[in-house]
Each structure stands twice: as C-alpha cells, then as structure tokens.
A and B are shown apart, each in its own frame.
Chain A
Amino acid sequence: MDFNFSQVVGLIETLYSNTLAAGQVVQVQSQLQQFQKHQGSLQVADQLLDPRNNYSLECQFFGALTYTVQLNQIFSTWGAVVDDESDIDDDETLKGATGTDDTRNMVDQLTLRQLSHLNNLLTQHFVHRQPNLFVIKKVFSNLSLVYCHNFHNWTNPLLSFLGTQDDPSISSLRLSVANIEHHLQASLAGSAQKLQLVLLFSQIIIEDILKNNTMSDHLDQQLHTCLRKEVFVVTEFFVNYSMNLVIEKLNNNNNNNNNNNNNNNNNNNNNTPKLSNDNNQLLADAVRCYTAWTSYISFSYLNSTEKFIIDPTLNLLIKFLLCHQTSDQLINDSDSIFVVIEFLTNLLETNANLLNNSFKQTINDLIFKDWGMNYLNFLNGSGDDDLIENEKSVQDFAKLVISYFELDMVRISKLLVDDSCSYIFQALMKLTAFPGTPILDEEISRDFIEFWLETSDTLIDDTDSLLILLKTTENLQLFKKNFKTLLELLGKTYWTKVQLPLANQTSMKMIKGQYKDEYFSYRRDVGDLFDSMYVIIKDSIFKFLFDNIINNLNVTSLTLQNASEVEASVFLINCMCSNFSEGNVPDEIFGMLVHLFSFHRNEEINFLKIGLITNNSYLMNTTVSFLSSINFFYKSEQGLGFLNEILDYLFNLLSLSIQSKELPGKFQFIVARAIASICSQCRTFLASSLFKFEPLLFNVINSIDFKAFTREKVINSVSFIIQGIKNPQTQGEYIVKLLQLINDQSTKIFSEIKSGRVNNNHDLNILLDYLVSLLDCVLQIARGMQLPEESVIFYNDEERQLVDNFWIADNLGIHSMILQIISGFSLDPELTNIFITNHNNGESLGVTDGSVKINYHNLVTEKCCEIFRAGLCEDINGPFVFADNQIIIDYVLSKFEDTKNRIDVDKPHSSMTLSIGYLFGLLETFVSANYRKLSKEAVTNCIITIFVMNPQLLNSDVDLFTNALQFLNKVIEKKPDLLFYISDNSANYFATILESCMVVLKQSNEKFVIKTVVKFWCNLITLRAGTRENQEYITRIFIDEQFGQKLTNVTFSALLKSTRSNYEIYCDIVRNMIGKYPLQFKQWANNALILINNQRVSNGKKALPDIRQLISKLYLTKGTRKVNMVIKDFWLAANGLMDI
C-alpha cells in the first residue's frame, strides 16, 4: 500500500480530531499502523518530527511513535543468535547478539537522527514555549529502547544526549565516562533546565529497563554492568550536582539572611546554572529520578553481582533536610521537604536492603534528635490548630517514623529502658493523639494503629528473646513496667479516639454517610489493638473502661457526652471479651461485671437503661452486642442472677424496635440475634422462665406485623430453652402448643387466600410472606430442638432412655402434626398453584432494592426439605426424627412427581427446577445419614424414577442433572451395593445412567458440572465402599461392555477442548484409570488419542504432540499427582499455548 505525505498527515489529524465514530477510529488506526510498518515511513516521521515544518504536536508525536514501531521491528531479530553461555565472550557471537554491521550502522544513524530531532524539539520547548514535553518523552523512550538493545555499542546515552547538542556526529555516540567526566561541568553551564532533562532521560531509561527485564540472562548481566559503570555514574553526578546546587543556594540564602540581606552572592561561580527562587522542581526531579534508580538497584542486587554505592546521595538528602532549621525555611521549602521525606519513607518501606547500619543511624538521629523534634515542634506550632493545619506534613513524618521502627520492632524494647529516649515515646504518643475525629479530620491515628499493633504483638511475652536483648533481669522488669505504662496511655488515647461525636451533628452525618465504612473499619481496628493490648496489660484496661461507665452512670442527668463515653467503653470491652470463654475468665472481670449490672440497679439511671434514656441507637446497638458476647458470665454463679433481667431488657428492646419508627430495621435483627444467642448458650438455666415467654410467643406467631426474621429468631430462641428441658413430656407439651398455634394460624390464612377475598397482589404477597414465615417457624423449632452435643454427653443413661422411648411412642402425635403442616403447605394442589404463580420480592428477607424474585413454591419446598433434614443427623429419637425412612422417600417422590408435571421441559431453566434441586439435596443428606438402614429396593426405585423415567427433565437443566448426580455420588460413596439392585423393570437402568453421564462429561463446560460428573466417574472406577461383587460388576461393564474405552475417548476429547482452568479436573479420571485398569488403559488411551488426532488433522487443525511419549510419561507417574503436570504440558502443546 502506497502512502503520500499529505494523506498521512490528514489521517493523523482526523484520528486526533475526536470527531470519528468508533468504527472509523479503528479503520484510520489500521491504515496508520500499516503506514508505520512501511519501508519509507521513517522519512515521513522525520518530516513530522521537525518542528520547523510546523506540524501539530499530534503529528510530531506520531512521528516519534513511528520510530518506535520501526525500532521494534529491527530489534525483534536483534539478539536471537545468543543461546549458549559458554560463547558469550566470543566476538562473533556477540556481534550476532548485537546485530550485523549493517544493522548496527543503521541503528546508529537512527539514534543520531532522533538525537537531532530532540535538539530541535528542545528548542521548540524552551525558546518557543511549546507544550511538547510528551513528544520529548516519547523520543527519550525511543532512545531508551535503542540503548536496551544496543548498549554494547552505545554505552552512555546521557552523555550522547549532552554531546550531540554541541557535536551532532557519530562520535557523540562513543562518549563514555572513562574520558568525559571533565566535560560534565562545562556541559551544565547556565541551564537548570538541561539538568532536569538529563534527570528525566535517566529516569525513563531505568524505568524502561525495569519494565523490560525479560531479556536473556547473560545479556542482562552485561547490561547491569554497563548501567552501573556508565549511566549510573552520570546520573549520580547529575543528581548530586542538582542537590548540591539546591543546598548551596539554601546556605547562601541563610548567609544572606544572616548578613542583613547582603545581595553579594560571591559563592556562585560562573558555571553554576541559575536557579529560580523555587528549589522545589529541580529537587523533585532529582529525587524522582533517584527513586527509579533505587528500585532498579534493589532489583539488580537479586539479578546481578553489581554493587552500587548510594550513600553519598542519601547523605545529601539528609543534608538538605538539616539545612532547614527555622520556621521560614521550613515553610518556604515545605514541598521539597515533603518530597524528601516521602522518598526516605519509600526507601525504608520497600528497599531497606540498600541501607547500611550507618545510614540507619543517620535516619534515627534525623528523626529523633534536633531536626526531627524541631520539625515536629514547627508542625505543632502554637497548638492543635497549627497541628491540624499541617496534617499532611505530620502524617508524612509519622509514616517515616513508623517505617523506620518497622525495620526492627525489637529496637523499641531497648529504647523503652533508656530514660534518655523517653522523648521519642512522647513524640509517638503526640502523633497518635493527633487532634480531631479520626477519618473525618485526621488519618494519622489510623496509620499508627498498625504500628502499635505490631509493636505489642512483637513484644508480647517473648521473655527469652527480650532477656538476651536487654541483658539483665532488672532491665527486663523495667521494660515490662514501662511498656505497660505506655500501652495504658495508648489505651486512653484510643478510647478517646473511638468516641462517637454524638453532639456534633455535622460529623455524625458524615459518619452515617460517606465515611461510614471507613470510620467503622477504624473502630474495628482499634478493637483489634485493644484485644492485643489486653494480653499485656490485663485487667487494668478493663478497670479503666468499667470505671468510666460507672462514673458516667453516677450522674443526675445524662448528656450525649455520657452516652458517647459509655458507648466507647462498652465497645472496647466487647472487643476484648473475645479473649474469654468459659474457664479462662479472671475473677476480677466477673467482679467488674457484677458491679456494672448491680450499680444503681433499682434506680432511674443504670447500665441497662442508659441507652433507652438517651434514646441513642448506637449505644443500644453496642450494648446489645456486648450482652450477647458475655455468655460466660450468665452461666457463672455470679452472673446467673442477672440473666432474666437482661433477657427482659432485650425483649423490651425488641418490642420497642417493632413500635419505633426511628430505630433502624436492622436493630430488630440485632436484638433478635442476641436473644437467640443467649437462649442457645444458657438454655438449661432458662427453663423455669419459659412460662414468661408464652404471651410473647402467642403474639409473634399470630401478629403479622413482626418482621419474619424476628418471628423466626424468637421461636428459635424459645425452642433452645424447650430443648434444654430434660423432661420429654414437658418438652412435648410446649412443642404441641407451638405447632398448634402455627397450624391454626396457617389454616386460617390458607382459607382466607383460597376464598379469593384477597384480590390485591400486594396484600396477597404479605399473606404469602407471612405463611412462609410460619413454616419457617416450624423449621426454627426443628433447629432449636437439635441436640447441642452428642446425646450420651447431654443426657445421662436414664434420661436418654426416657427421651428415646418417649419419642418412639410419640403419644402427643407431634410427628403427625409436623407431617400435617408440611403436607398442608407443600402438597395441597390449590395452594401449590397460588405459591407457583406468585413471587417473594425480597422485602421479607430484608432486601428492598427489587433484586430478589423468589418463587414461593421454591421457598416452601426448601423449608419443608430443611425441616426433614433437621432430624436426619440426630443420634437419638426426637420430635423431628422420623423412624420410618419411607416417610421422607414418599414425600420426595410425591413432590417430585407433582413438580415435574408442572415444568415445561421445552423451556429450560424453569425456576421450578430449583424445588427439585432441594428434593435431591434432601435425598443426598438422607442417604448420607441413613445408608445403613436403607433397602436396595427403595433406593433403586428413587434412582429409576429420577434418572430413567425422566431423562428429558434432567437433560433440560444442567443444575438439575448435577443435583441428581450428587445424590447418586453419595450412594456410590457410602454404599454402592444399594445401586446394583436388579429387578425385572430395572435390568438396563444402570447402562442408561452411564450413557447420560458420558454425554454430560463430553458436553459440559461449566466447572461445577464437570467436577460433579468427574467425581461420579472416579467414584465408580475406585468403588471404595463396594463389595467384591460390586467391583466385579463395574469391571465387567468397563472391560466387556467397552465403557472403559468410551470413557477414555470422551475424557481426552473433553480435556483437550477444555479451557485452562478446567483441564485439570479431568486428570482425576486419568489418574484413577491408570491405578485401576493399568493394563487396559494404555491401549484405551492410545486408541482415543489416535482417533482424536485423526479428527483434528482432517479438520485442518494442528496434529497432537507425540502420543506414545504422553502415554509413557503417564505410566511413569503411576497415577500420582504428577499426572496433572504431564497432562498440562500435553494440553499446552496441543493448543499451542504457553505456560503462564
């Protein structure tokens, strides 16, 4: 394709005009890309890059980009010859690695042309003030690309850049530090801008090299050497020169100021570039360049033997900081100080391996001696206001301090026993206690949380190491005392920090709004810190917090400040309570808790009332969380006396939250969950109080106004208490009452719905939600009645026998009541129709954004299955344990029949199939729990009904097939014998199932389906729990009926077509086949792969790699995990992909 110059310019202008449609952009880009690869494109690029031609900056940039494309084309074959390390010193090989003579000459010419363009572009930039820096950067980047590949011939691009400005000839490309150092000073005369450009060029080179560190190893070694000997030397010179300039100017200014603004600046020699009054830019450029170099140096330490000396530059940075002593100096150069501090922090955080001990000590002196303290005092100014104003600078300084200490946390222990270093901790504490509300006003205290957390974790109880470090036991004792004091102070600081600014409405609005996540994350972090601190300072921190609550209760009227302090204290106590469980709570804690709950117990203001009095939802919330986390207290002798009172309080809160419109809906959820937690943990202590809950139970079941979650949690809570009653007759009577209430109420609602009087969809949905919630209450009773531990532990022998006999007899007819409720909800055809045609929109589940649309029929089926499931794993008879296995099988089959008849199999992925999935899930658990007692006939009947009689249904939805297969997998895992029942009507059913699974294995792409079907085949191959007859049966199928060959064909075919994340799943089949059928599998695999290969070749695809070699390798692995590696290599080679 031929291009003329004006056509190219036109295309470029069009491309950057922002007026093209997306399709046109692609078209223009494609044309321009073709041009860039064209032979004559560089001539056009030269024209475009020449500023004298007055093309737009976009055209200039395109010219530079064309150079990039051409250079990449040249370098794509540049280093291909070097492949043997032993030849690296051989001249001929080196020539190959660096191109032929002709190519090298061409590259030299291209380099010179670009350097020449660069000179013109710089003139355009500095003289004509054109904003063309992005074009200059692109040319720098091109030169960097040349250098990366051509460093053997072109050793010092920085010197060439300077040299070509005076002498634009090939000799500029041969400049090296060996003979040019004395020219550097002269090159710099008069221009700080030139300095900045050299720094920028150096930065681009080193960043590009880091990006492209994929070159071959020995080239890299030589490049490292060249970089250190040439480019680094020049860079270091320029960086140091720049910093010396800045420092010199600072000193001059200082001297001038000291000499009453004496204007004679005699120290400037004629060659020194003129710096503007603002030092910031040059220093920032130097530091930015050096930052890139330190990253590279850190990298080169790992990848080469080159050693770089960076101390002189680092010391200049310190010297620069030390030049700033007075407020004026610190204010004038605040930006530069920030840049240097940030550099040092990054260095400590990410490249500390570059620092020697001497420099670390220098940083220590900088931070903690005169300069650091002076700087901190300057930031602190005359008080908190100044500190807040300088927050960013304080934060950066704090980060520097933290990164310095994090180099060696144990160092702190030494400082703690040295009185002369106490000012360091005062400084740290001052920074931690930075004024203002965290997150909203300041982030410094957040930065320090991790630091203090790490400090306390490092120094916890490591007496042996500390003793070695501190040398004497006296020092160790002193350390422990000082550390405890420090942490106590820290605790008080953070206690203040986590107080909610309740009295400040603006702050609270921000906390509830945009800063919500971050603010509460901060509080949780502080909670973790207290949790960690507690291990060291033990009870004193508790005492401080408990005392604070008591003090706040000891008032005549409560303010928001009282509420705020109490909330913070309760929150932190709650965080530390996670350390406690029964048996490890110190007596002091019990004493404090007793004091807390008994203080002003019968008066107007006490702990349980403070939230209600102040009507503060945060305080109520935190108090409820706290009450649900001290179950160890209720179970103790001291705490038992408060249990009823606390539960009363929580039920009061629950009632209040239902009536109140101010309290968030979530609050009801939190209170209900707290009640359930306490009832579950303290069930045996609450039996005598059960009668008190009866009115509430009646209310929650019969009132539609309760949120579904609350209703269910309350029923669940009471069920825990009922379960705790050891007398089964009393238990049964309570359960009957509950079930009767639920049954009566649901029957009433059923009638109302069936009558057709509810003709409004919204009202109907409310009633259906309520009905589902009532059914869920039965499930909550079932869950509440589950034994909390094994029956032999929970009951003594006599009790156990009594309970078992009671539920076998079931004189109260509870089993039949449960079945009646399930049948009423799930098997009534009229009601099922109503459930099917309506959807739950999520409101009852707490979702209000309309994202939820659940079929009521699925919800009901799910809950019924869960009710059956709740009793399946009990080891003793109970209200939800059905001794007759046939009850569950009958339910599943009836519901399956009913549901499948309502599914239109022509419309795949019907929402109704979810119900069938629940039924299969129930069957799976049922088999898992009862496989010993199940009859072959019953199981086979289920399998035939599901797999053989309804293949169309299963094939219509992979989820459904997967669920069914999981049930089958469970049978094979637990008792495969159940599967091989042969009767007249089931003769070939097993072969039908195998054929279906073969199809699924071949066609599925979804990971979960592949996993399930692969598991099925693996289970079948190994048949771990099978009898000898079962093994023989399967072996016959695999060998005589050719299923082994079929499976191998399908496995390899699916494996080769699968994606990278899936191929490994199929390896399990290969492994198991090698283990179980070693003789046959070799032939099966060979046949399968030849067949697949022939198909691929006939379809014009690449042939498979060596099949024999694959099979040999597979057999060498003997079916171990190494099979996966062999298959991986084969898969990559077959698909022409690389290992990533």
Chain B
Amino acid sequence: MTAYIVRRFFYAIPILIGVNLLTFILFFVISSPDDVARSQLGDRRVSTEAIESWKADHGYDKPLLYNPSAGGWGKFGDTIFFQKSLRLFVFDFGQSDSGRDIGYDIRQRMWPSLAIAVPTLLLGVLLNITFALVIAFFRATYIDFWSVVLCVVLLSISSLFYIIGGQFLLSKLLHLVPISGYDTGINAIKFLLLPVIIGVIAGVGSGTRWYRTIFLEETEKDYVRTARAKGLQESRVLFVHVLRNALIPILTGLVVILPQLFLGSLITESFFAIPGLGSYTIEGIQSQDFAIVRAMVFLGSLMYIGGLLLTDISYTLVDPRVSLK
C-alpha cells in the first residue's frame, strides 16, 4: 500500500501544476496585472506611476508566462507564474495582494468552517442512513412511496430557500436562535444550531434517496435472502447485515468530501455571517486578489486529491477483498 500511496503522491504533482496553470490563465484572461493593481489601489486619483510602482513591489511587473528578454531558465523562471506558484508547493502561500498573510487567514478561518461542516455531516449521515433503512424496511408500502415523494420534494428545493426559510421561522418568528453571527468557544453553539439544522434538513432529501437506493440494491443479494431464510428479524437483516455490506458505496461518497469540509460553504457562511473559508475564495475573486485565488484553488485541488486517496485506502479497511498495489 505504501508504494501505491507514494505513486499517487507523484501523480498529484503534475495535476497540481496543471490546475495552477489553468487558474493562472483563467485569472489573467479576465484581469491584467494593471487591473489587479487598480483594484488594490482604488479607482480614484491613481496615476500610471502608482500602478507601475505597486506592480513592481508585488512582483506583477514581470511577463506572465514567458520572459523573452531573460536568458536560459529565466525565460520561464523570471515570470509571474513561476515566481508566484513555486512557493505553493511548500505550502508557503505568502501575502495576499492587499497585504494580509494568507496562511494565517486560512488557519483562522478553517475552524468556523469545520464547526459547521463536521456536525452537519455527522448528523446528516446518521439521519439519512436511519431514514433510508426505515424506508427500505417499508419498501413497496405507502410509507415508502410517500417518503420517496417527500425526498424528491426536499431535494428539489434550493438550499437558499432552506436558509432564508429557516432564518425566518426559527429566528424571526419563533425567536429561538440568533439569525446570524458567530463567536468562539462554547458561545459558538447558539450560532451553529441554525446552520447545522438547516444543513441537515437541506441534505435529507438527496441523502436519504441515495442511501435508500444503495440499501435496496443490497437487499436483493443472496446473503440477505439467506439471512431471511434463516428466520432473522428484518430489522437485524437491515441494520446489521445490509448496513455493513453497504459501507463501500457510503464511504465512497463520504471520505472524498472529508478533506474538503474545512473549505466551507459560501452561501451558508455568507447568510449566517460565519467567518469561514467558504467565502474566502469568492472574496479573492471579487477583489481580484490573485494570491488568494491561487492559494485556495491549490488547496482545493490538494484536498480533492487527498480525498480520493483516502477513499481508496478506506476500501481496504471495510472490504478485505480490496488491496492496493
């Protein structure tokens, strides 16, 4: 397995370079270094000299990808792309174009994101699996039918509606929780209740449907028929035998998103004024702060690659038939 992990690690390097290059090209198709400078210096009374001076100070005065005036390796090395990208691979994100340390900001903002994402994921999975098993238990009955209808309705509603509706009902009408905000430590709980409840409810429809499908597929298998033939209770068949064997597809969906949890959710964090990472990338794009965009895209890709690797590893843990070579 170690060889497999090392191989995957080396596979990741060209992927990360490619993603970084693509981000770089897309960003600078829309914003030139002059635009970046103007967005940092403001619109008013900005002279050409001020723009040139800002670019020189922030390393944006070089050619983008190829420097014909440099010699040798400098043709590629003495460019904005190379100078700005290389440090990412040692996790040195540097400073944002507005002067803040990106690594520090990421470390600060990942905790609030995790504070919402982890309970939402755990509660959501627990609830969805329970609902799905119960529905599978009542398969081909009116409970199954109406549960599926309800799930389809729930998954058809926009997450924005859940947020606005939840804020309206629980905070504005019933006055039970703060409508938005955040605090540290134990004081954070009252602010997390509403986003977590909404996050769980918003995911119930799709999650339950997905797990129901997995469980129903599993119940058609021979070992389930055998278990039933032996006279096991239906609940034991489902909650013990089916659940254990359905773990592989469940893990596929779950483990891949685990590392990305700390990247947060843009809409949730924005509406609940949670100072997480969800809005960090968008803020970077809106303020044309390439340093932030670059760092967050790099991190996102890394997390995704890490998630896929973890998924592969988790297969070996839940299914002894799988081995990584």
The answer to whether A and B come from one shared complex is: no
Residues of A that sit less than 8 Å from B by CB: none
Residues of B that sit less than 8 Å from A by CB: none
